[in-house]
Structure 1
Amino acid sequence: MTWLESLKIRRKLIKTFKSGGIYLGSDERPIFPKINHVRTTEYSAQIVFNLPNGLDPKMVTKKDYIFLQHFGKNVDLDGDHKKFTLTVYHRSMPSTLKYKFADISKVCNGLSLPIICGMDRTGEYVTLDMLKQPHILIAGETGSGKSTQLRSILTTLIKTKKPNELELYLGDCKKSEFHLFRKVEHVQCVHSSARDIQKMLLHIKKELDERSNLTEMFEVSHVDDLPAEHRKPYLVVCIDEFVMLRKDELIMDILTETAAIGRTLGVFLILSMQRPSAKVLDTTIRANLTVSMGFKLRDAMESKIVNTPNAHNLEHSGRFIMNADKLYELQAPYLTMEQAKKLLNPFVVAKGPVKEVNEEIPQLTEKDVFNDVN
Structure 2
Amino acid sequence: MLTLGSGEGGLVGEGLERVVALGLGTTGSTILGVLLTLAGVLLLTGASLGAFLRRTGHVMHQAHQRVRRPKPNLIRAANQLRAVGFSSEPPPPAPPVDVKHDYPDLVSDSVSVRPEPDSFHEAPTHESQEQLFELPAPVADYELPSRELLTRSRPGVGPNGEATQRIADALVTCLAHFGVEATVIGQISGPRVTRYELQRAPGTKVGKVANLKDDLSYALATTEIRILAPIPGKQAVGVEVPNLSPSIVTLGDIYGDLPATASPLSVWLGKDISGAAVWADLARMPHILIAGTTGAGKSGCINTILTSILLRATPDEARLILIDPKRIELNYYEQIPHLLTPVVSSPKEAAAVLLNVVTEMERRYERLSQVRARNLPEANRAFRKRGEDELPYLLVVIDELADLMMVSPQEVEDSIIRLAQKSRAVGIHLVLATQRPSVDVITGMIKANVPSRIAFAVSSQTDSRVILDSNGAESLLGQGDMLFKPLGTSRLQRVQGAYVTEEEIAMIVEQTKAQREQQVDESFLEAPVVFAEDAESDDGEFDPDEDPLLDKAIEVVVTAQTASVSLLQRRLRVGYTRAGRLIDMLERRGIISPYEGSKPRRVLVSEHDLERVVHAPALD
TM value normalised by structure 1: 0.78
Instruction: Tell me, yes or no, if structure 1 residue 97 matches structure 2 residue 256.
Output: no
Summarize the Cα distance change of 1:210–1:82 in structure 2 as closer, same or farther, 3 Å threshold: closer
Q: Which residue of 1 aligns with 2:576?
A: 368
Instruction: Tell me, yes or no, if structure 1 residue 302 matches structure 2 residue 463.
Output: yes
* Counterparts of 2:233 and 2:185, CA distance in 1: 17
* Counterparts of 1:17 and 1:95, CA distance in 2: 26
* Counterparts of 1:327 and 1:263, CA distance in 2: 24
Tell me which structure has the larger Cα radius of gyration.
Answer: 2
The CA deviation string for residues 196-235 of structure 1, in whole angstroms up to 9 with x for no partner, is 2223222211221123334445444322222524352211
* Counterparts of 1:242 and 1:81, CA distance in 2: 33
**Aligned counterpart in structure 2 of residue 343 of structure 1, from 476, 501, 508:** 508
Structure (1/2) with the larger strand percentage: 1
* Counterparts of 2:177 and 2:445, CA distance in 1: 44
For residue 263 of structure 1, give the secondary structure of its aligned residue in structure 2.
Answer: coil
* Counterparts of 2:510 and 2:233, CA distance in 1: 54
Percent of aligned pairs sharing the same letter? 22
Q: Which residue identity lines up with residue 58 of structure 1 in the other structure?
A: G
* Counterparts of 2:437 and 2:241, CA distance in 1: 34
Q: Is the 8 A contact 1:108 1:116 kept in 2?
A: no
* Counterparts of 2:579 and 2:273, CA distance in 1: 51
> In the TM superposition, what is the alpha-carbon distance from 1:344 to its structure 2 partner?
2.0
Please, what is the CA RMSD of the aligned residues? 4.0
> In the TM superposition, what is the alpha-carbon distance from 1:153 to its structure 2 partner?
0.9
Gaps (5+ residues) in structure 2?
1-108, 110-165, 384-389, 531-574, 585-620
Q: Is the 8 A contact 2:351 2:411 kept in 1?
A: yes
* Counterparts of 1:121 and 1:40, CA distance in 2: 11
Q: Is the 8 A contact 2:225 2:239 kept in 1?
A: yes
Q: Which residue of 2 aligns with 1:286?
A: 447
Q: Which residue of 1 aligns with 2:8?
A: none
TM value normalised by structure 2: 0.49
Instruction: Tell me, yes or no, if structure 1 residue 358 matches structure 2 residue 522.
Output: yes
* Counterparts of 2:232 and 2:457, CA distance in 1: 30
> In the TM superposition, what is the alpha-carbon distance from 1:121 to its structure 2 partner?
2.6
* Counterparts of 1:330 and 1:165, CA distance in 2: 28
Q: Is the 8 A contact 1:116 1:153 kept in 2?
A: yes
* Counterparts of 1:340 and 1:269, CA distance in 2: 22
- Count of aligned pairs between the two proteins: 355
Summarize the Cα distance change of 1:361–1:81 in structure 2 as closer, same or farther, 3 Å threshold: closer
* Counterparts of 2:233 and 2:280, CA distance in 1: 30
Q: Which residue identity lines up with residue 221 of structure 1 in the other structure?
A: R
For residue 274 of structure 2, give the secondary structure of its aligned residue in structure 1.
Answer: coil
Instruction: Tell me, yes or no, if structure 1 residue 268 matches structure 2 residue 467.
Output: no
Summarize the Cα distance change of 1:197–1:59 in structure 2 as closer, same or farther, 3 Å threshold: same
> In the TM superposition, what is the alpha-carbon distance from 1:146 to its structure 2 partner?
1.4
* Counterparts of 1:94 and 1:235, CA distance in 2: 40
Q: Is the 8 A contact 2:251 2:499 kept in 1?
A: no
Summarize the Cα distance change of 1:18–1:287 in structure 2 as closer, same or farther, 3 Å threshold: same
Which deviates the most, 240-249 or 78-87? 78-87
For residue 332 of structure 2, give the secondary structure of its aligned residue in structure 1.
Answer: helix
Instruction: Tell me, yes or no, if structure 1 residue 62 matches structure 2 residue 221.
Output: no
Q: Which residue of 2 aligns with 1:331?
A: 496
Q: Which residue identity lines up with residue 251 of structure 1 in the other structure?
A: V
Q: Which residue of 1 aligns with 2:366?
A: 213
Between the two structures, name the one with larger relative contact order (CA 8 Å, sep ≥ 6): 1
* Counterparts of 2:395 and 2:245, CA distance in 1: 30
* Counterparts of 2:579 and 2:177, CA distance in 1: 67
Q: Which residue of 2 aligns with 1:164?
A: 316
* Counterparts of 1:219 and 1:50, CA distance in 2: 58
For residue 340 of structure 2, give the secondary structure of its aligned residue in structure 1.
Answer: strand
The CA deviation string for residues 13-35 of structure 1, in whole angstroms up to 9 with x for no partner, is 8867654445xxxxxxxxx79x9
Q: Is the 8 A contact 1:293 1:321 kept in 2?
A: yes
For residue 187 of structure 1, give the secondary structure of its aligned residue in structure 2.
Answer: coil
Q: Is the 8 A contact 1:309 1:321 kept in 2?
A: no
Summarize the Cα distance change of 1:11–1:148 in structure 2 as closer, same or farther, 3 Å threshold: closer
Instruction: Tell me, yes or no, if structure 1 residue 253 matches structure 2 residue 461.
Output: no
Q: Is the 8 A contact 1:145 1:317 kept in 2?
A: yes
Summarize the Cα distance change of 1:70–1:128 in structure 2 as closer, same or farther, 3 Å threshold: farther
* Counterparts of 1:82 and 1:278, CA distance in 2: 32
Summarize the Cα distance change of 1:93–1:213 in structure 2 as closer, same or farther, 3 Å threshold: farther
Instruction: Tell me, yes or no, if structure 1 residue 194 matches structure 2 residue 353.
Output: no
Q: Which residue of 2 aligns with 1:5?
A: none
> In the TM superposition, what is the alpha-carbon distance from 1:288 to its structure 2 partner?
2.1
Q: Is the 8 A contact 2:320 2:397 kept in 1?
A: yes
The CA deviation string for residues 39-65 of structure 1, in whole angstroms up to 9 with x for no partner, is 667877775758858x65433443455
Q: Which residue identity lines up with residue 495 of structure 2 in the other structure?
A: L
Q: Is the 8 A contact 1:236 1:270 kept in 2?
A: yes
> In the TM superposition, what is the alpha-carbon distance from 1:156 to its structure 2 partner?
0.8
Q: Is the 8 A contact 2:353 2:527 kept in 1?
A: no
* Counterparts of 2:232 and 2:275, CA distance in 1: 30
**Aligned counterpart in structure 2 of residue 134 of structure 1, from 263, 280, 286:** 286
Aligned ranges for residues 4-83 of structure 1 at < 5 Å? 18-22=176-180, 38=185, 47=197, 57-64=206-213, 77-79=228-230
Summarize the Cα distance change of 1:237–1:41 in structure 2 as closer, same or farther, 3 Å threshold: closer
Summarize the Cα distance change of 1:127–1:46 in structure 2 as closer, same or farther, 3 Å threshold: same
The CA deviation string for residues 44-103 of structure 1, in whole angstroms up to 9 with x for no partner, is 7775758858x65433443455666788877752438996433467983974625333x4
Q: Which residue of 1 aligns with 2:326?
A: 174
Q: Is the 8 A contact 2:401 2:441 kept in 1?
A: no
Gaps (5+ residues) in structure 1?
2-7, 23-31
Q: Which residue of 2 aligns with 1:232?
A: 391
Summarize the Cα distance change of 1:75–1:274 in structure 2 as closer, same or farther, 3 Å threshold: closer
* Counterparts of 2:215 and 2:235, CA distance in 1: 15
**Aligned counterpart in structure 2 of residue 153 of structure 1, from 299, 305, 308:** 305
> In the TM superposition, what is the alpha-carbon distance from 1:238 to its structure 2 partner?
0.2
For residue 213 of structure 1, give the secondary structure of its aligned residue in structure 2.
Answer: helix
For residue 482 of structure 2, give the secondary structure of its aligned residue in structure 1.
Answer: strand
Summarize the Cα distance change of 1:11–1:184 in structure 2 as closer, same or farther, 3 Å threshold: closer
Which deviates the most, 105-114 or 130-139? 105-114
For residue 269 of structure 1, give the secondary structure of its aligned residue in structure 2.
Answer: strand
The CA deviation string for residues 86-141 of structure 1, in whole angstroms up to 9 with x for no partner, is 3467983974625333x433165542121222222322222111122221111222
Q: Is the 8 A contact 1:135 1:259 kept in 2?
A: yes
